[in-house]
Amino acid sequence: MTECWSSKPVVQLQAAYRGSRARAQVSQQQESYRHAWMRYYLRARDIDAAVAIGYLFQSRDPTFSSALAPAAACLQAVIRGRLARKAVYDMQERYRQRWIEFYLCCEHDCDKARSLGWRPAAERTPSCEVVCDSTIASNRKLARPPPLPTPARPARLAALDFLRFIGAVHVAAYHLVTGLSVPRDQLPFGVKWGFSWVTFFFILSGFVLMFSREKQGGRPAAFTFQGGSARAWLWKRLVGAYPLFALSLLLAKWGSALHTQPLGFWLNLLPMLAMLQAWAATVHCDDRTFVCTQTAWNEPAWFISCLFFHWLLFPFVFRLLARASAVCCTACITVLLGLSFWELILWPQLTELSPAELELVGVLAARHPLANVYKFVLGCLLSRLLIACQLMSGTVIEAPNALQLAARYAATPAAVALCLVFIFVDPDTLSCREAVTVSLYSVLIVGLACGADPLARVLSLPIFTWWGKLAYAVYMLHSSVMAFVSNLTSNPDWTRNEESYSRAFFPTLLVLSLLAHYGVEVPTIAYYRSPPRLWWQVEWCMRRRTKGRTHARQDPPVVLTTVAVHSGGSGASTLAV
């Protein structure tokens, strides 16, 4: 860009020329890489890998086998594609900054500069008068583009990691203490609130998934199971959750007398492995019923069954909320918060039911996926509102308004209010406990995600964020560790020694969680990064590839280079690539 243009068609022509030139350079680079790899595979006598990247030759020698297989060529193509895209992105970023400088310093048009991503600094006047470099003039070359004042969005919500660990430990303590011989009315209020952290996990799951998808960008309409992007996303979720989920089922009954259990107990393992136990309409299993919610394998695993349904529902929710405005999100959040007061309406109408029927209603209201889906959607709406209103610290350069200030510094008041509720309020006598916890957890999550609150800055330290890695292992294994430690610390007559049992539970849980995280979660996620292709998908791809090569042979051959390939004999055959 050598001078300031005055005609808009000329500017568009220049931009189109630069775009075509960049695409031509990338295409030439990709073609050179493809030919280089083709020659390499031919020298290595790997005809299949060469054919996978476009080599048109039908082998007449059966000794040519796929030493590296077409998957190796596909991997190399992915790497080359990433390098080419990086080069294109760098070139586009350079051109974007040059055009921003042109609009600011030559045409003094702030609207066009804003359309390219530029934002004025805080000290500039509202009239958007830009003081340009003295070296820039209408008849001279542009100077170096100014740095962008908009800071980058944080890569992850680090302040929420330690809270996940606290919630998992609180749930484990709740199940530990309520399983002792101490009467429930004599337990501390804070321990009895341990069940409420499941609500926090549902809201946090929707919040984090929506935030990560918004951060990645892309068209919302492309995030579907038919297009493939949602399938890869779901595979990553399952790889991170299912191995430890299956391991917890096996460890839950390690060393117990399984032969004394009814038939429904064994058959219940099938819906649990399929993550369908939360959909059951019965509570306990017997010889005739095997689909039940309160199972003896690993009862806290019902949360994963609900979460799996929410994962299946998330692509639809994301496409629906990706373009929602702040007003629409606020209205939907208000409706969902009002829905959390369902306890005030439901329980007074069920006074005539029997204890067994009340237990069934309580279990379904607490564990059914449809009863918890509003919490997941609430987390998605909070994340969308956070991005739409630019509530995070660092995303707005101008002076923040009252809503932004309230959201950024709401974490500490919400945490104090939550602690006061846990200490002084009995959950067994509170009739709207879910409405209280949903509201406080929502405010706490938004306040910590903004990152400006002092509590958020403290929890973002590495010494706290590391503990968040163990949250899932602590939650999934605490029921299995309870059974293991109970057998390990029992008296000689096989009765439970509650004192030794309570002291040994948390150290054992921490050690096994460390082993499960670094021995199961981390290797599995690192090894199974992409979903495997099924055999019919491989055959379909090979059929499409063969069909493409058949149509390509109808074109006149173009000899690019000549490579000598030895077919195993004393002579050499010359092939046209």
Q: How large a percentage of the chain has pLDDT more than 70?
A: 70
Q: How many CA atoms lie within 13 A of 44 on its CB side?
A: 15
Which structure tokens are listed for 78? 């992915």
Between 364 and 415, where is the model more confident? 415
Eight-class DSSP state of 563: E
Collect all residues with Cβ–Cβ distance below 8 Å to 85 and sequence separation of at least 6. Answer: none
Specify whether 323 is located in the same domain as 423: yes
Distance in angstroms (rounded) separating the CA atoms of residues 192 and 427? 7
Distance in angstroms (rounded) separating the CA atoms of residues 148 and 104? 13
Specify whether 192 is located in the same domain as 243: yes
Q: Quickly tell me which residue has 């299946």 as its tokens.
A: 312
Average the pLDDT over 150-178 and give the result: 81
| Neighbouring-strand partners of residue 162 | none
The alpha carbon of residue 435 and the mean position of all alpha carbons in its chain are separated, in whole angstroms, by 27
Counted domains in the chain? 3
Collect all residues with Cβ–Cβ distance below 8 Å to 323 and sequence separation of at least 6. Answer: 220
Residue 228: exposed, middle, or buried by beta-carbon count in 10 A (0-12, 13-18, 19+)? Answer: exposed
387, 325 Cβ separation under 8 angstroms: no
Per-residue pLDDT at 213: 87
Please choose, from the candidates 515, 393, 402, 512, the residue with its C-alpha nearest in 3D space to the C-alpha of residue 454. 393
| Neighbouring-strand partners of residue 562 | 576
Per-residue pLDDT at 224: 80
381, 373 Cβ separation under 8 angstroms: no
Specify whether 542 is located in the same domain as 506: no
Domain closes at, from 117, 150, 183: 150
Specify whether 412 is located in the same domain as 440: yes
pLDDT digits (tens, 9 = 90+) for 533-577: 655 455 555 555 555 544 444 444 433 333 333 333 333 333 332
Domain closes at, from 127, 150, 173: 150
What phi, psi does 563 have (nearest 5°)?
Answer: -125, 135
> Residue 404's domain spans which residues?
158-527
Domain closes at, from 150, 170, 189: 150
Average pLDDT score over the chain = 76
Per-residue pLDDT at 561: 33
408, 391 Cβ separation under 8 angstroms: yes
Specify whether 54 is located in the same domain as 174: no
Helix (H, G, I), strand (E, B) or coil at 564: strand
pLDDT at 332 over 90: yes
Specify whether 438 is located in the same domain as 564: no
Specify whether 199 is located in the same domain as 267: yes
Specify whether 286 is located in the same domain as 307: yes
Specify whether 390 is located in the same domain as 336: yes
What phi, psi does 352 have (nearest 5°)?
Answer: -90, 0
